[in-house]
Amino acid sequence: MRAIIQRVTRGSVSVANQTVGAVGDGLVIFVGVTHADTPAEAQTLARKAAHLRIFEDEAGKMNRSALDVGGEVLVIPQFTLYADCRRGRRPSFTEAAHPDQAVPLIDQFVSGLQEEGVPRVVTGIFRAPMLVAIHNDGPVTIFLDTDAL
């Protein structure tokens, strides 16, 4: 699994001009799933994201996690994180998992965040055309891949 994690002052996702999820201070996490991923990867990624120390402490050092600051999390399913752009100009998405496999793993990731103690987790809608608004704080953007954890 892959994740792009952005520290935000606020974020929201809309589908068909309706806001389906919004957060204040916290994280927006784009999550992609590939064929080899299992619930173990979803749990590992959730644990890492929840405890990632990317919020500043009193000294201005990134030393606090979303759990430490009571940060909310908006999770956006993002199959394009597995885009292969090595050949030609059109990305290939063959490495992205089929929705039948990806949806349960995204749900497992969300459950994992909740189990770790994230106070509020909201999501986009899988396979829907989404409009995501992000107020990136810092900016802080972190890329995680379970193959490298």
Instruction: Find the catalytic residue in 34, 78, 123, 146.
Output: 78
CA distance 49 to 65: 8
Range of the domain at 81: 2-148
Which residue in 30, 34, 55, 79 is the catalytic one?
79
For 59-82, give one letter per residue: b (16+ CB within 10 A) or e.
Answer: eeeeebbbbebebbbbbbbbbebb
Q: Grade residue 11 by pLDDT with cuts at 50, 70 and 90.
A: very high
Tens digits of residue pLDDT in 123-133: 999 999 999 99
The CATH number of residue 63's host domain is 3.50.80.10
Of the listed 9, 38, 80, 141, which one is catalytic? 80
The rounded distance, in Å, linking the Cα atoms of 121 and 113 is 7
Q: How many domains does the chain have?
A: 1
pLDDT tens string 31-88: 999 999 999 999 999 999 999 999 999 999 999 999 999 999 999 999 999 999 999 9
Rg over CA atoms, the chain: 15
Asked about 79 being catalytic, the answer comes back as yes
Active site residue 43: no
pTM of the model: 0.97
